[in-house]
Structure 1
Amino acid sequence: MWPPQRSSSSKAWCVRNAQPKPIYVAPFKTEPTRWQRPGPMNLDDWVNFYKWCQVNAVPIERPPIPRVNAPPPTYEGIPSMQNPPKPVGGWTRCESGGSAKNKENQDIFCRLSKPRWHRAKYQPPPKELFPYRPRLAYQPCPRPESGRPADKPKVPCCFQHEDVEAEFWATVRFPVSKSACKTMPSRKDCELSKPKTMPPKPHCPLPPELLDVPLKRTKMSPLQWRAHLRRLKFLSQPSERMLADLPCFCDRW
């Protein structure tokens, strides 16, 4: 079966939409209205324009509106205040408690606000007492040491001279803790108290056989060998400064 042939309109649509999208798009130009004129204005047009502005574009000067202060309101001017309502004597709504319907609603609210099942207040059980506490480890209980922390020294507000201030801070003494006098420093404390040495001590000791044995030489790659030859050639040449200091014997030959 032969495929259906496309009509001329569909073929034209395909040809029109198969073209590449143009990069430059012409800007849209608005056509002048019937009030506009194409091209620049001439001298007569400008004269007519300024005449029109002097008539229609000038602000209108209106006379100021006089302000009249209105008189204060009186009972005669307000009809609702001519006969004010008289207060009802004897009782008020607050004293009477409202109507019967409000009382009924209040009773319903009070009944609904109460819990359906009443329970007594929770009373926690008394704490268990342990009168006997045996000391399993025969060591003194940890207690805060008396005199610690030490009181801050009383520093005067100002010093007359730098030597006086230096002497004051040199003679300041703090009480030493008794436990500090009895304690024994650990090996790490002694190591940290010493000044830092360079090079630093390695974390893990190195084996003694690797200290004297030189490192194993590796074979150069072709790129490394060419760079090595290039360096040797450059280092074998004499210095330009030394060549400049030598006398020139070119004229003798």
Structure 2
Amino acid sequence: MNNEAYGTHLGKIKSSEPSIAPIDSGHNFDEHETLLLKPKIQEPPPSWLAWCDRNSKPVKRARPREIRKLTPWQKSGPMTIRDWKHFGAWAAFRARPKNPKLQRPAKPFCAAKYLPCALKKRQLEEDELRERMLLLAKPRKITEKYNTPDRPPAYSPAIFWGRPPHRDPGRPFQPPHVPDCFPTDELEADFWAQLRFPVRPAALLGKITPRIQSLAKPRVYPPTPHCPVPEKVLHPLDVPPPPRRKFTNRGWRMHQIRLLYLSKPVFRSDMRFFYCNV
């Protein structure tokens, strides 16, 4: 039947037979074997629970609002024209800067009447005071007008060593006169093209000296040494390590110290040299 029902519409028909086997009477549980559920006894809450509930809530601090006290010129609403007039009259008198009167300096204490501090000041008349002022305004010593001496010109070169500077009366010469403006560019170009600077005959006879020629050359930095400078010989401990990874900086230094120690001669006593090598 199963083979016939496979793959047909009979395979979907529900059967009346139970799919679960009937319960045997041997599997019945006795009443004394049933599990009795005991009710849970409510334990008292721990002591720290109330402390946590109390301290876990945010602190509510009482912040009383300060009542603002208004000045006589502050009102809750806008000021009226009468209030503004009253305020303007008050500010015109009260808001101005004060001009305090300068206090006179206190009279210095004088120990006796015969001292200069006790003498009264002499009151001079107006004419006498004016004559006194004119007398004090005159200089005590009147000096004559200072005449500047004839100074040599700015160009005074020392032509020969050991001799005083040579005063050239033609130096410094006056520059040529150049007009302030030119009507056209062509006139300006012609002016500069035809301008010739006069050459003095004494300048054509001048000869340059080796000293002036050496000073005219630009200075070279660094200066060329007159003899070759030998390379600096480094100390064995200052020699950098070779470009390899066999030594560290500290290992290379210790290696150099070891080589210096081994390169020194061995000093032995004379008795050991003569008698121990037999």
Give the TM-score taking structure 2 as reference length. Answer: 0.25
Give the TM-score taking structure 1 as reference length. Answer: 0.27
**Rg bigger for which structure?**
2
